[in-house]
């Protein structure tokens, strides 16, 4: 029988605590166990960027539920679930029936929807159903989900881990096929040799009858060889069947290695914590307690206070920084916010003390985010210097500050993280950052980085199982289950002696030391996952100086990054900045301006290249007439990046000429490094810049008087030409 639902007026429930809101939901829906367990249809939209639970019904009595607000029909239209988690649950399907627990959405989301009861799916509890509760009305929770604890001990299996395993298996299969082909070729060669020998024997029989007996004997030997060869072929086929079967089993096994360790820890979580193999943080993770986001304190909301207006956001941030004695022209804030929203690599270039890292730090604070400044060392030569490496001797992953920043950001998904590689070009960027940069090119989903082999988790599991078994057996043997911590266990002489006997230790061996070794091994595997997906709340920024102690950026790096160039703050027109801020008429700008992560830009494919598009036509022509003759690399991806930048920049400034100016400064001029005296057609390269490229820019962008020389592409080109004249004709943007 359906429970009569209490309907509240919005004014009644606004301002209630989460505990009070939960209680009203429990009362309204008759949930005596104080958990919102439901089942329904999980589906993903065609674009793959939204997923949710529709037509939710309670598990305990199979009742449809709706928010207890007047005229509210939001719940049955879909409760949001992270699409990446939905893809893991559904596999290749786009919809399916699932059971899960619902919880209150984040405070910003509830405020945005104007619904204090707004719910979200607890992604650690999603369980796919193999049959429907409608078909079995009397179904209880234990029949629906095999073990209630397991729904709280959920491990997020990342898509990239599965892809890595499949890739490894494919590589092993390819190697096996190559081995088989090599054996087949060897057999073919042997058959050919035998055939030649047989022919030689026949020739000898024909040539001399006196050697008939000898020839017959040889023929018999050849037949015996042929029999042995056929036997070897059959054995090889049998070996191949075994190899194929092993490959199939390996595919299943590799996909479960990390799962087995995590499942074992889930099952034994309380035991492992009692005996101090897990600390409180790891225990909370495995029993389903989510990590809480950092308290941002008082702030104002971009969506609610500024109506999601990015131009007003620039004004507020610039004024907010000025209150903290940090002065940046409006153009820098417009440009930086737009580049943050592109999800591309940003490189801040300029002299030491020009405000590069200060921009990262102050901007992060202004929007309630976190900045991580990672100094680059001159001796960095590989990705291990950036991300760390697995030490097989210590049986743990040795993480770097960069990797620790990524992991911290993943634990706080609602807070923006700006990770800045300071003095990025002290080492060769293409050595230590190239692999990571290739990952950043992925635009359809968040890129994933493999840190170490999943096999290490299997080794830890095997040793951990043995330790748990020996401790448990020792407890049971002496009927001392009241001993619940490792120190008490060590103090009991009978159990201590039994454990040393079981482990094969002598009296000199230390169980305390062995316990510490196991704890470190376990913490190493749990603390650093075998692979990590770059969180959506992370932006990667590089800060570089250009002098005799640093390396130039390679074309590969420049092709994938946006370069913002800075000058000394002592050259800044501070009065102009004060005039800009005064014109906004803002009163109170003391609080940070907080964005939802999606409002800071989502990682989506770049806009398509269309020949008829005005921007595409312009840069296709410039590439043919100017960039290609100069030897400047300029491809399709760069144009698509430009389309994305120009579109996003229009949200902060409608001046399209300024957007094109910025794109040229970011993506074109940093590649201008060549011998200007070299002849190309009717001009030298320096003349092609001054007589063809510069006039086109002036015609295209018109009067740039309102753009300071620091940010003007025409002024930058004029400076390039003038510098080349006094530098033996060498054109160098970085000089």
Write the pLDDT tens digit of every residue in 409-418: 998 999 999 9
Contacts of 612 (CB under 8 A, 6+ apart): none
Does residue 458 have a pLDDT over 60?
no
Contacts of 248 (CB under 8 A, 6+ apart): none
The reported pLDDT for the residue numbered 181 is: 79
The mean predicted confidence, pLDDT, of the chain is 80
Does residue 159 have a pLDDT over 50?
no
Does residue 600 have a pLDDT over 70?
yes
The reported pLDDT for the residue numbered 148 is: 36
Work out the end-to-end distance of the chain between its first and last CA atoms, rounded to an integer number of angstroms.
80
For 28-83, what is each residue's pLDDT tens digit? 888 888 899 999 999 999 888 889 998 889 988 888 888 898 877 788 788 999 99
Domain range annotation of the chain = 20-128, 168-285, 303-449+535-570, 455-527, 606-732
- Angle at the Cα of 46 from the Cα atoms of 44 and 51, rounded to 5 degrees: 20
- Angle at the Cα of 209 from the Cα atoms of 207 and 213, rounded to 5 degrees: 120
- Supply φ then ψ for residue 396, to 5 degrees: -155, 160
- 613 - beta bridge partners? none
Are 595 and 308 a contacting pair, CB within 8 Å?
A: no
Cα-based distances in Å from 611 to 409, 640, 700 = 40, 12, 19
The reported pLDDT for the residue numbered 183 is: 78
Nearest-CA neighbor of 727 among 673, 670, 668, 681? 673
334 Cα distance to chain centroid: 26
Q: What is the pTM of this model?
A: 0.58
Length of the chain: 735
Structure tokens at 280: 């409180």
Are 110 and 66 a contacting pair, CB within 8 Å?
A: no
Separation between Cα atoms, residue 84 and residue 410, nearest integer Å = 14
Separation between Cα atoms, residue 641 and residue 626, nearest integer Å = 20
Beta strand segments in 256-369, E: 300-301, 345-349
pLDDT grade for 104, boundaries at 50, 70 and 90 = very high
The reported pLDDT for the residue numbered 328 is: 92
For 570-583, what is each residue's pLDDT tens digit? 778 889 899 999 99
Which residue did the predictor score with more confidence, 371 or 480? 371
For 172-231, what is each residue's pLDDT tens digit? 777 777 777 777 787 777 778 777 776 776 676 567 666 667 667 776 776 776 677 667
Regarding the domain delimited by 303-449+535-570, which CATH topology (the fold level of the hierarchy) does it fall under?
Rossmann fold (3.40.50)
Separation between Cα atoms, residue 400 and residue 380, nearest integer Å = 12
Separation between Cα atoms, residue 284 and residue 223, nearest integer Å = 72
3-state secondary structure 205-264: HHHCHHHHHHHHHHHHHHHHHHHHHHHHHHHHHHHHHHHHHHHHHHHHHHHHHHHHHHHH
Structure tokens at 453: 């082999």
Separation between Cα atoms, residue 527 and residue 521, nearest integer Å = 10
């Amino acid at each position: 029988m359906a429970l009569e639902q209490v309907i509240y007026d919005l004014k009644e429930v606004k301002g209630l605590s989460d505990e009070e809101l939960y209680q009203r939901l429990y009362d309204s829906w008759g949930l005596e166990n104080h958990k919102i367990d439901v089942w329904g249809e999980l589906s993903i939209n065609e674009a793959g960027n939204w997923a949710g639970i529709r037509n939710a019904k309670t598990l305990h009595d199979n009742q449809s539920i709706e928010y207890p607000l007047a005229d509210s029909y939001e719940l049955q239209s879909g409760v949001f679930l992270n699409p990446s988690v939905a893809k893991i649950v559904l596999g290749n399907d786009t919809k399916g029936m699932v059971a899960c627990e619902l919880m209150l959405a984040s405070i910003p989301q509830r405020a945005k929807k104007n619904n204090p009861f707004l719910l979200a799916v607890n992604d650690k509890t999603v369980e796919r159903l193999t049959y429907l509760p409608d078909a079995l009305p009397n179904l209880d929770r234990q029949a629906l989900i095999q073990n209630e604890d397991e729904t709280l001990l959920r491990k997020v299996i990342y898509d990239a881990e599965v892809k890595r395993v499949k890739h490894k298996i494919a590589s092993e299969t390819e190697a096996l096929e190559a081995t088989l082909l090599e054996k087949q070729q060897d057999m073919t060669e042997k058959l050919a040799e035998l055939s030649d020998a047989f022919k030689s024997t026949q020739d000898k029989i024909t040539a001399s009858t006196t050697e008939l007996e000898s020839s017959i004997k040889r023929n018999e030997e050849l037949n015996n060889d042929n029999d042995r060869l056929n036997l070897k072929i059959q054995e090889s086929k049998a070996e191949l069947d075994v190899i194929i079967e092993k490959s199939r089993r390996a595919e299943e096994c590799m996909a479960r290695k990390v799962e087995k360790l995590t499942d074992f820890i889930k099952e034994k979580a309380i035991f492992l914590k009692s005996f101090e193999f897990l600390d409180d943080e790891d225990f909370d993770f495995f029993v389903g307690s989510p990590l809480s986001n950092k308290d941002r304190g008082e702030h104002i909301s971009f969506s609610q206070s500024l109506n999601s207006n990015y131009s007003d956001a620039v004004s507020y941030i610039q004024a907010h920084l000025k209150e903290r004695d940090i002065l940046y022209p409006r153009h820098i804030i417009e440009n930086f916010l737009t580049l943050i929203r592109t999800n591309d690599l940003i490189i801040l270039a300029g002299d030491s003390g020009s405000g590069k890292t200060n921009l990262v730090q102050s901007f992060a604070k202004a929007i309630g985010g976190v900045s991580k400044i990672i100094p680059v060392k001159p001796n960095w030569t590989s990705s291990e210097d950036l991300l760390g490496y697995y030490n097989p001797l210590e049986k743990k992953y040795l993480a770097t500050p960069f990797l620790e920043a990524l992991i911290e950001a993943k634990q706080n998904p609602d807070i923006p993280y700006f990770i800045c590689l300071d003095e990025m070009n002290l080492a060769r960027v293409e050595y230590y950052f190239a692999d990571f940069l290739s990952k950043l090119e992925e635009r359809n989903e968040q890129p994933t980085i493999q840190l170490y082999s999943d096999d290490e988790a299997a080794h830890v599991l095997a040793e951990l199982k043995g330790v748990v078994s020996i401790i448990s057996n020792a407890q049971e043997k002496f009927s001392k289950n009241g001993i619940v911590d490792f120190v008490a266990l060590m103090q009991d002489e009978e159990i201590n002696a039994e454990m040393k006997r079981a482990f094969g230790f002598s009296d000199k061996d230390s169980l305390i030391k062995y316990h510490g070794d196991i704890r470190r091994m376990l913490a190493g595997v749990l603390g650093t996952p075998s692979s990590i997906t770059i969180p959506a709340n992370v932006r990667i920024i590089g800060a570089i100086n250009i002098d005799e102690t640093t390396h130039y950026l390679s074309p590969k790096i420049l092709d994938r990054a946006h370069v913002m160039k800075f000058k000394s703050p002592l050259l800044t027109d501070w009065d102009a900045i004060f005039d800009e801020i005064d014109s906004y008429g803002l009163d109170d700008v003391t609080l940070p301006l907080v964005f939802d992560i999606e409002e800071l830009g989502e990682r989506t494919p770049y806009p398509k290249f269309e020949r008829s598009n005005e921007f595409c036509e312009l840069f296709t022509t410039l590439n043919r007439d100017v960039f290609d003759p100069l030897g400047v690399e300029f491809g399709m991806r760069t144009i698509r990046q430009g389309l994305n930048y120009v579109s996003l920049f229009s949200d902060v400034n409608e001046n399209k000429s300024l957007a094109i100016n910025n794109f040229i400064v970011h993506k074109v001029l940093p590649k201008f490094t060549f011998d200007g005296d070299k002849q190309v057609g009717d001009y030298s390269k320096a003349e092609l810049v001054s007589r063809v490229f510069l006039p086109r820019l002036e015609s295209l962008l018109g009067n740039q008087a309102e753009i300071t020389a620091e940010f003007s592409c025409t002024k930058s080109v004029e400076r390039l030409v003038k510098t080349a004249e006094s530098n033996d004709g060498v054109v160098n943007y970085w000089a």
